[in-house]
Amino acid sequence: MKDLKIDISKNTNISIDKLKQMILVTEYIYVSFICILILRQYKPDIGMEIYLPLFVVLIIAMAYCFVMYIFSDNFEKPGMIEMSFRLIYLFIVGWLLAISDNISVQIILVLPTILIALKYRLRYTIFIAIITSFIFLFVANFYRYYEYDYQFIFLVFIWMIGLLISSSMQYERQIRREKNELYEKNKLATIGEMVAGIAHEIRNPLTTIKGFVQLLENDKISEVSSKRKEYLSIIDNEIVRLNDLLNDLLQYTKPTQPHLIRNDIEKIINDSKIILDPHFINHKIEFSTNIAKDMPEIYCDYNQIKQVIINIVFNAIDAMEKSTRKCLKVETIYDLKYIYIKIKDTGVGMSREIAEKVYDPFFTTRNCGTGLGLSICYSIVHSHSGKINIKSELGKGTEFIICLPKV
């Protein structure tokens, strides 16, 4: 559930994008050629003087291209505007066919049927093929007088190519529909898991608060000052926990855009260490750093990258709670393009199954965690055009590798 992204959508979009590009390129070539043929029918009286047909043709062509671009993402049902423009251009091509001896006009007449067959269902292909056939028969019998066997062959060509393309695309459209349905189901399942996680995390502290409030209402407990103070302290801690959960949830769902400025990564690590030192002492953790010499600066948000380091270190501290040897090391290296921050612990480690889920919101192996810390880290690093990887081995420890682009 990383950032609610589902990989199947990427695979679906690849073929759709290629088809959309191919159709748009064909549309533009088709329109350009029609414009050239129309303009050849008119000649300015004086040299290169601008004349009305040029303006009219260019305006119609630009409007057509704009409409086709607007509807280029539509692969389900053509809109009335799109179909109206296609019909206008079919009649324009029919007029060109009536006044021009250029055989390529006949090919242009077939293109709308092909393009509709590529994008939409069979019914729309049949509709355009009928209009195209009517225009051709009208021109062939009242203007050009094509022979009947030629008319028959041309009509068969229009219908055969339209029906064949539509049939071949029907399988692709079916696959696309099934993938879209699966994507929607996965998205709903993801949202359902998030809602369940939120409800679970909020219910626990609320249940605790309710229980201790009921105890405080007991007259005997109210008379014992030490118990009353203890219960109020627990209630206060649970309210703080709720507040932290809501803050994490807000940061995850509406992440702040990073304020990118030049920063020294060594300073960020040292400043993080100052905050973390008391925790190292309390948990008897041996902490060390190995900062590469001449570390280059990076464009990053100081507070956000510090938050990433602190969140990962807190996870490492929890992972080493039962370890006999508690060592935590932060190391930096760099290459031509990136700097790498490695945070390695000697904790219990993770299985591959758990490592694949650590960035999922509300996934946690701890008894007292929101499961949003690493999800937020993942989001922050990716907003910096970086990557975050995990190397872990059960019983030996875990290493987080944060990769950020150099200045």
Tens-digit pLDDT profile for residues 82-101: 888 888 888 888 888 888 77
Give 225 or 37, the one with higher predicted confidence: 37
CA 339 distance to own-chain centroid = 26
Distance CA 274, CA 309 (A): 12
pLDDT for position 209: 76
Q: Is the confidence at residue 366, as pLDDT, over 70? A: no
- Residue 296 is given by DSSP the state P
User: What are the tens digits of pLDDT across the range 198-250?
Assistant: 666 676 677 777 777 776 666 565 555 677 777 777 777 777 777 766 776 66
User: What are the tens digits of pLDDT across the range 40-54?
Assistant: 776 655 554 556 667
| SS3 at position 69 | helix
Whole-angstrom Cα Rg for the chain? 34
User: What are the tens digits of pLDDT across the range 131-178?
Assistant: 988 988 888 888 777 788 888 888 888 899 888 888 878 777 777 777
Distance CA 316, CA 206 (A): 28
- Residue 258 is given by DSSP the state P
Q: Alpha carbon of 313 to those of 245, 373, 376: distances in Å?
A: 19, 11, 14
Do 52 and 75 contact (CB within 8 A), yes or no?
no
User: Which segments within 222-353 are labelled E, that is strand?
Assistant: 261-263, 286-290, 298-300, 327-334, 338-345
Beta bridge partners of 329: 288, 344
Residues in CB range of 159: below 8 A, 6 or more apart: 129, 133
Do 202 and 245 contact (CB within 8 A), yes or no?
yes
| SS3 at position 190 | helix
Do 315 and 374 contact (CB within 8 A), yes or no?
yes
pLDDT for position 345: 92
pLDDT for position 1: 39
Q: Is the confidence at residue 336, as pLDDT, over 90? A: no
| SS3 at position 403 | strand
Residues in CB range of 258: below 8 A, 6 or more apart: 300, 301, 304, 380, 383, 384
Distance CA 407, CA 401 (A): 19
Continuous segment of H or E residues that includes residue 252:
helix 225-253
The Cβ of residue 404 has, within 10 Å, a number of other Cβ atoms equal to 22
| SS3 at position 287 | strand
Q: Sheet holding 327-334: strands in order across?
A: 286-290, 327-334, 338-345, 397-405, 387-393
* Structural domains present in the chain: 2-184 (no CATH), 194-253 (1.10.287.130), 261-405 (3.30.565.10)
User: What are the tens digits of pLDDT across the range 302-322?
Assistant: 989 998 998 899 889 988 988
Beta bridge partners of 263: 298
| Long-range residue pairs from 270-275, CB within 8 A, at least 24 positions apart, any chain | 271/306, 272/306, 272/309, 272/310, 272/313, 275/310
